[in-house]
Amino acid sequence: MESRVFYSNKQDEVEAVEEVLSGIDESVMPDLVLVYSTLKYHGGYQRFLDVLGERFQGVPQVGGTVDGFVYEGGLRTSGLAVVLCWDEDASIDTFNVESRDYSGLRELAGDMDDGVLFLHYPLVYLPSSVDVLSIVARAKYYDLVGGSDAASREEYAARMSRYLDGKGVFNLPQRILGSFEGCDVPVVGVNLGHFNPKRESPRVFHNYSDIGNGVSGLIIEKEGVDVVSDDIYPSKAGGISETRDRVMEELKCLRSFSYRGSGNVISSIDGVPPMEKVEGFKGGVVSSEEFREKVEEESISGESPFIMFLLNSDTGGGSFLGVSNIYPFSYFPSYLDFDSFDDELYFGYEPAKGKLFDYISSVDGVSGSGFVFSVFDVASISIFGDMVLEYRDYLEEQIGDNYFSVLSVSPSVYLPRRFWRRDYLVEVSNNVLFAGSGLSVSVEI
């Protein structure tokens, strides 16, 4: 596959897309269009999508909002990027998942033996102010009726999990990618997210429409496609107890706790509401008024140096989750399905020190002979600052100029064993790799 990247940072979204198209010859018609935008054009995405749809009518398109992108000659954290792709040997198709029932996703891969699927979806969707405040009100009600009894709180955690799922706030990679179990080709979760999200973001772009909080799928069927996943964490260490010891050393583990919960909501840690434990690690629980102000000012951020690790005895691995005091209620909802894990968790520090290039290490596993599309964790910017500017030169040294990378929240991947480079620690469910930070995925086509 060959590619060309066109970029604009014009103030207005229509001016931006016009600048992009001015660099493309009128006779050019690609086989695939990728469109990524930062939040700079929030509220105006459909305006540039309409223009692109008219220009590339009938050409499959996927993409969404991210915090940045890296391509030949640039690392950008503002603007619009349009990637045109050509491959006469590939079969390319798109699909859109409108419901939250993922049971039929496996059928979309059919009997594919070669190729890759991409799924674009918000990992966490921040709804409108009205919806956010109604969610907080419901959670406060669960605080009241759940009380301090552990069994009662677990019951209301299950109710909260179902309620949040109905609201579409969290899209859980374990559930989405887990539906592909038995598939022979990799499925890459391009988890869309933002370091400082705006209301009603992230957004998904599908065939030149802004479909908001949806799931956009891309199928590329072709021989020789390679998918590489890597992360900042160690590998599994044989048995589950050895892996636990390795993780505790890696995290400089502060404490371990038992916990209870249901679905994607933790109801108690060591028998008390989880946010009381979080308070001990970071600054105190926010008030409802503070939370409302953050929503209105669009200044919500889950940044924290603390993470928790959860073991999964079924896979011999587990996953990592950032710990922050962003909620004005005592339950702890997240993008992990806690039903998959053991009942003990470990608090420690994110093991990021000295790992600048580990955040993009998946590119080390590709040959650079084809088009390389990568997803990197945007947390690297907050951790390393201007040092991430070295990524551009590093990528071009490793894989040349036929590449495009997005900076978003940590990606996920369903990875059949024939693609495993090592015994990944972050196996959250069978062949599904995901953690709240520190992963990268590179696909060579």
Residues 199 and 119 in one domain: yes
- What's the pLDDT tens digit per position in 315-336? 999 999 988 778 899 999 999 9
Residue 351: the pLDDT is 86
Rounded mean pLDDT, 397-413: 97
pTM: 0.94
Q: Which of 319, 349, 379 is the last residue of a domain?
A: 349
Residues 30 and 79 in one domain: yes
Q: Which residues contact 87 (CB under 8 A, 6 or more apart)?
A: 1, 2, 31, 32, 220, 222, 371, 445
Q: Beta partners for 81?
A: 7, 36
Percent of all residues in the chain with a pLDDT value above 90, rounded to a whole number? 80
Q: Which of 320, 349, 378 is the last residue of a domain?
A: 349
- What's the pLDDT tens digit per position in 159-204? 999 999 999 999 999 999 999 999 999 999 999 999 999 999 999 9
Residues 75 and 193 in one domain: yes
Res. 250 pLDDT band, cuts 50 70 90: confident
pLDDT at 289 over 90: no
Residues 37 and 181 in one domain: yes
Rounded mean pLDDT, 10-31: 98
Residues 192 and 145 in one domain: no
Residues 264 and 226 in one domain: no
Rounded mean pLDDT, 224-248: 95
The least confident of 16-30, 112-126, 198-212, 234-248 is 234-248
pLDDT at 126 over 70: yes
Res. 291 pLDDT band, cuts 50 70 90: low
Residues 227 and 306 in one domain: no
Residues 330 and 212 in one domain: no
Under the phi-then-psi rule, with left for phi > 0, alpha for psi from -120 to 50, and beta for the rest, what region is 117? beta
- What's the pLDDT tens digit per position in 83-92? 999 999 999 9
pLDDT at 284 over 60: no
pLDDT at 282 over 70: no
Residue 279: the pLDDT is 64
Residue 287: the pLDDT is 59
pLDDT at 285 over 90: no
**Edge-to-edge strand ranges of the sheet holding 215-221:** 91-97, 215-221, 116-122, 187-192, 412-414, 432-434, 427-429
The least confident of 53-57, 101-105, 335-339 is 101-105
How many folded domains does the chain comprise? 2
- Of 363, 189, 346, residue with least CA distance to 253: 346
pLDDT at 298 over 70: no
Residues 137 and 241 in one domain: yes
The least confident of 80-89, 208-217, 253-262, 396-405 is 253-262
pLDDT at 365 over 80: yes
Rounded mean pLDDT, 55-80: 97
Residues 153 and 79 in one domain: no
Q: Which of 72-76, 95-99, 353-357, 438-442 has maximum average pLDDT?
A: 438-442
Residues 114 and 183 in one domain: yes
Residue 120: the pLDDT is 98
Residue 293: the pLDDT is 63
Report the alpha-carbon distance of residue 118 to residue 72 in Å, rounded.
22
Q: Which domain holds residue 55?
A: 2-125+170-232+353-444
Q: Which residues contact 364 (CB under 8 A, 6 or more apart)?
A: 228, 230, 398
* Mean pLDDT taken over the chain: 92
pLDDT at 299 over 90: no
Q: Beta partners for 297?
A: none
Residue 260: the pLDDT is 96
Residue 377: the pLDDT is 97
- What's the pLDDT tens digit per position in 300-316? 555 556 789 999 999 99
Residue 429: the pLDDT is 96
pLDDT at 227 over 80: yes
Rounded mean pLDDT, 354-376: 97
Cβ atoms of 253 and 307 closer than 8 Å: no
Residues 151 and 239 in one domain: yes
Q: Which of 321, 349, 377 is the last residue of a domain?
A: 349
